[in-house]
Structure 1
């Protein structure tokens, strides 16, 4: 008998044991006269318990224990000889359905209590969460923790406002710049479900365009949902919707709202008081009634991939939901992902783009220069800028602010030996060393240990050099090169929303670029090699997305707007930026993925853990037909850990079988009491 067969038998034994050890009711419990059985999803994110359990419904709870409400149940209790329950901890759960009888032959434990009569788990939301759990090899309970916010009694006790009638269909506005834009809005307003991949034009108008698409769906008598990558983008669309429709027609579900306020807004959506929602990642699960439009902005942004198990991606959840509820889809952004290009190539969605003349009229001028340009004057050397970039900044500062995008935060985030260029590492954990400031000693970026007496293990040198320069060091250097110009920084520690339209230098990390009043006069995109040389399948796509995001904030070329990108001019993403052709870049990337059989052409999962844990899981895994296993190979890990990763690739159409096989293998490892954890990600966003 193989180890896999033995694991399967143990798994069956565990499931039967769980089934027979369900909590049983005490004798004499009076049950509901009708539908006395409640099928409950117990909130325990354990793979082997990813199933429903039956409980008896006491007569006192018969009216409140409706499908979709929160309940408390005892799990793991037994019935003693006296007929009383013994043991069993209380757990949260949801009533999934009410039944006349159970397929379990023994007595059932009663519900401990109904937490609230509020129905929070609708049938549509349950179907969506089940589909997401199956797609990502996770548990339904884990997905529900992402989809349903925690309860707040005070918010639940307050009435939600009365729903407003549908607004009139909006005018096309700036959608008229796209040949198919008015027709897309008209289809939404007519109650249809169009599907489009939208390549937005540069400039500040995309929030108003999302607002008009939402308004068109509302005018058609259906709901609308727009998911954005961060709070700043949500705030811009929120302002655009309020200006277009007035207050009360939409609500915001974002992470920066307090738990009580967020739950209050969520309840207004669940109760049907509000039919339009905008928000960040978790908002994709918002229970909007009669959903007519699902819009996702910048689906290539890493914020759309949830860091919590089972790590669903907003784009994929939106596609699953649109298919189930018959909603329209709008995947929009300044750039185009390979996944979006595949939707266009297969005919699932239509492209929504402007013609080339309009793009050229609105885009800034793009200039390229390598970081090896030696023709620098003294000021350019002080600012570590090629002369073209320095001169562009000097000229633009006479007309307005200049944006400088730096790929890395901090001061000197990576150090190396000044003689042989060997990366400087911590003697305690081998982590990379970084400098937090000009007068602070280097320290380890993994364990934080200061390194006051470092020397190179290769050549013995005591001298260090910067391997990567961060945003704060760049601001320091530029402040010296332009001594009378204000310098502002925007990054993880403090993100600016806007800056004045007066001359200034704005140093920002990718994703933290503030808006400038009237647009930036110029932008410098530094250290392009740091983005292009990342060991990641998506490095080129991600570099182009970050560059386009910054360049779109610059004035058009006709108004003097110029962007200088410091990177190899022949690189494909650089050429796509020069032409302002993200859709063409994505189509070319897709063609390469077809040849390489990489996602999204294939489905893939990563398995990461200790070498023994990865080997154990692969040994228990029953691969679908035609599956390939790539690796395992070592992966970088901090604090002395030794990790390996294996990639498992299957053909299109076999993704569900792969997810099911991974889930079964994980359950089998639990049955064999293998303690080491393995991290599984289906369709991981980063493939090195």
Structure 2
């Protein structure tokens, strides 16, 4: 028997042509339990097929589709009474999908973690107990205009930590406020004894003030190293029960439990990586991103939305404050500042790091200037070891990431996949960086030689060389395989890859930034921006007044770092990109398909104003070690922001048309897959 209510559901299916809501009847047996946001199972098509879905709306039959004259199928079953997909998160998912020509269910999979039954039952039981113990409602407050409810204090628990004027902090937390905030470049110590970047305390203080006002805060950081610093700062200001943590290191049960805790009505501070911007926090008052230019914010799954873009859209939907905090400003943030979407906020006063660029010291010796570790860096490292730890930042992990033939200097390649060869340890046989194959009896394909020479030095080889140069010094290697979050104030040589630098108690006695030219030699539009961000974040780890040596890099980039004017450099960089119509002055989309399919997808875009198409050209391999895309072509669509919605709509229509073109083969015939059409908006790889 049917209740008369119609449920509109989003089915969990990857086919793009099914990316819309479907109407189902609600059986009488489920009428009292069905709510928006719940997981249900529904019949789909024929053959008794049952699939998962989310309830998005519950409507009266009079409000359902009048064009349908048949009989609706009923919802098969209710998976759980927990309403896990809130209306605001679904609206966010719909906006993100439409912006990137994707499917809403793909975004929902990122927003709602996989279900953990035991954690869910425990949470539901706690919710039921809390509802049963809820006291009688208190009498209505007095209407006396003089009387006002008590407002929790918004003063920081740790005074004097912010480094900003009260007006600046208040401006950052204004409802519907959007700011690009410059971080104070120094380390601070929490009451628990942990040393963290001042940026972490700034974010924690903003979150604490938001929570004191009865609203929730979402705090996003690129990786677990930043997350540990931020959690240490938060625990100095807030009780642990008001903090939720999201990250990839959690088990399914832990992540789902943290997600369920955010569904309650109590305001919370939610900390996590890029997916935290989807957290269903109630009464959202603040979204803050640390170091928004970090590539880890780019989602690797369709529709590939960057966490910064998700935060911008969610801020518009929720009316919360938005803070992009960093030492170096991303070019995307600079664009938003220049069009007036973000306001600039800077600390009241601060001491910048003591940056010394060796290329700007006027050394007469060309060999000294070209050395990987200039003589000045050697001296500062030796002096620093007498006072405490010394940080050495290098470009690459491993021992010798790239090797070449010792005779003809041709890069050594794998015989199986033609990937680059490298050495993981001294004396070890070279192995492929793509497929992992061991090249024990390697022979050069150019000259027939068998000997290898090191082309690129990694963290392991650097540690070996510095260990010999400073006998008796403790050498610590910190990289992806050896994650180290902090080191003591004892003298040590800390060799770290970019982004993996540990925090030293009290700061490093000296910081050496090596391999700058190699970092800038990477083929990418963002290479200078990334390098400035890597160097800035490492320089802040130095103790006050300690030297920070930038080896082998000069020019405008070194000057911006030395004068700590990263925002001004970002402004000049954005002006150059605007003149060339490079991102983020314009948006881009990569479209990959077979020639005939690609022509059809691009045909309707050519008539739009503000749109130009580059290519097509043969599509590059999908990744390192992957085979070439056989017969596929790729075009780059470049368009103004105002045309973004229409470009996305037309490309989405092309995707649906291609996906719907597959026909069932004749009886006994071979399976014929649908033609390939891949679309990625704001693709970070195409420039």
Superposition TM-score tier, normalisation by shorter sequence: 0.7 to 0.9
Shift of 1:267: 1.4
Residues 306-363 of structure 1: CA deviation (Å, up to 9, x unaligned): 11111111110000010111111100011100111111111112111136xx44x241
Q: 1:687, 1:527 → 2: CA distance?
A: 25
Q: 2:325, 2:254 → 1: CA distance?
A: 28
Q: In 2 relative to 1, CA 412–615 (structure 1 residues): closer, same or farther, beyond 3 Å?
A: farther
Alignment of 1:129-528 (within 5 A): 129-157=93-121, 158=123, 159=126, 167-171=152-156, 173-174=159-160, 177-178=163-164, 181-187=165-171, 192-204=175-187, 205-354=198-347, 358-359=349-350, 361-369=351-359, 385-528=373-516
Q: 2:489, 2:359 → 1: CA distance?
A: 27
Deviates more, 1:657-666 or 1:621-630: 621-630
Shift of 1:111: 0.8
Aligned to 2:24: 55
Aligned to 1:18: none
Q: In 2 relative to 1, CA 611–457 (structure 1 residues): closer, same or farther, beyond 3 Å?
A: farther
Q: In 2 relative to 1, CA 495–231 (structure 1 residues): closer, same or farther, beyond 3 Å?
A: same
Q: In 2 relative to 1, CA 481–645 (structure 1 residues): closer, same or farther, beyond 3 Å?
A: farther
Aligned to 1:31: 2
Aligned to 1:8: none
Q: 2:21, 2:386 → 1: CA distance?
A: 67
Aligned to 1:24: none
Q: In 2 relative to 1, CA 250–452 (structure 1 residues): closer, same or farther, beyond 3 Å?
A: closer
| Match for residue 665 of structure 1 among 642, 654, 657 | 654
Is the 2:267–2:283 contact (alpha carbons within 8 Å) kept by the matching residues of 1? no
Is the 1:401–1:521 contact (alpha carbons within 8 Å) kept by the matching residues of 2? yes
Q: Is there any run of 5+ residues in structure 1 with no aligned partner, and where?
A: 1-29, 78-86
Shift of 1:622: 6.5
Shift of 1:617: 4.8
TM-score w.r.t. the length of structure 1 is 0.87
Is the 1:292–1:327 contact (alpha carbons within 8 Å) kept by the matching residues of 2? yes
Residues 437-466 of structure 1: CA deviation (Å, up to 9, x unaligned): 222221222222222333333344433222
Q: 2:567, 2:333 → 1: CA distance?
A: 9
Q: 1:162, 1:235 → 2: CA distance?
A: 32
Q: What secondary structure, in the 3-state scheme, does the structure 2 residue paired with 1:458 have?
A: coil
Q: 2:169, 2:268 → 1: CA distance?
A: 17
Is the 1:511–1:546 contact (alpha carbons within 8 Å) kept by the matching residues of 2? yes
Shift of 1:613: 6.9
Q: 1:655, 1:333 → 2: CA distance?
A: 28
Is the 2:162–2:201 contact (alpha carbons within 8 Å) kept by the matching residues of 1? no
Is the 1:479–1:487 contact (alpha carbons within 8 Å) kept by the matching residues of 2? yes
Q: 1:452, 1:117 → 2: CA distance?
A: 59
Q: In 2 relative to 1, CA 611–536 (structure 1 residues): closer, same or farther, beyond 3 Å?
A: farther
Q: In 2 relative to 1, CA 479–173 (structure 1 residues): closer, same or farther, beyond 3 Å?
A: same
Alignment of 1:544-559 (within 5 A): 544-557=532-545
Aligned to 2:55: 95
Q: In 2 relative to 1, CA 133–239 (structure 1 residues): closer, same or farther, beyond 3 Å?
A: same
Aligned to 2:552: 567
Shift of 1:249: 2.3
Q: 2:104, 2:459 → 1: CA distance?
A: 42
Is the 1:373–1:387 contact (alpha carbons within 8 Å) kept by the matching residues of 2? no
Aligned to 1:4: none
Shift of 1:166: 7.1
Q: In 2 relative to 1, CA 551–221 (structure 1 residues): closer, same or farther, beyond 3 Å?
A: same
Aligned to 1:578: 562
RMSD after superposition:
2.6
Aligned to 2:627: 641
Q: What secondary structure, in the 3-state scheme, does the structure 2 residue paired with 1:653 have?
A: helix
Q: 1:122, 1:448 → 2: CA distance?
A: 44
Aligned to 2:192: none
Q: What secondary structure, in the 3-state scheme, does the structure 2 residue paired with 1:576 have?
A: helix
Shift of 1:607: 2.9
Q: What secondary structure, in the 3-state scheme, does the structure 2 residue paired with 1:66 have?
A: coil
Shift of 1:154: 2.3
Q: In 2 relative to 1, CA 521–662 (structure 1 residues): closer, same or farther, beyond 3 Å?
A: same
Deviates more, 1:401-410 or 1:264-273: 264-273
Q: 2:334, 2:648 → 1: CA distance?
A: 24
Q: 2:614, 2:447 → 1: CA distance?
A: 37
Q: In the alignment, is residue 682 of structure 1 matched against residue 681 of structure 2?
A: yes
Deviates more, 1:256-265 or 1:321-330: 256-265
Q: 1:150, 1:405 → 2: CA distance?
A: 38
Q: 1:666, 1:467 → 2: CA distance?
A: 44
Q: 1:404, 1:612 → 2: CA distance?
A: 52
Q: Is there any run of 5+ residues in structure 2 with no aligned partner, and where?
A: 132-149, 188-197, 663-672
Shift of 1:188: 6.3
Residues 413-458 of structure 1: CA deviation (Å, up to 9, x unaligned): 1122334432221222221111222222212222222223333333
Aligned to 2:76: 112
Question: When the two structures are aligned, how many residues end up with a matched partner?
Answer: 633
Q: 1:434, 1:619 → 2: CA distance?
A: 45
Shift of 1:608: 4.5
Shift of 1:175: 6.1
Q: What secondary structure, in the 3-state scheme, does the structure 2 residue paired with 1:348 have?
A: coil
Shift of 1:216: 1.6
| Match for residue 42 of structure 2 among 73, 80, 87 | 73
Is the 1:73–1:112 contact (alpha carbons within 8 Å) kept by the matching residues of 2? yes
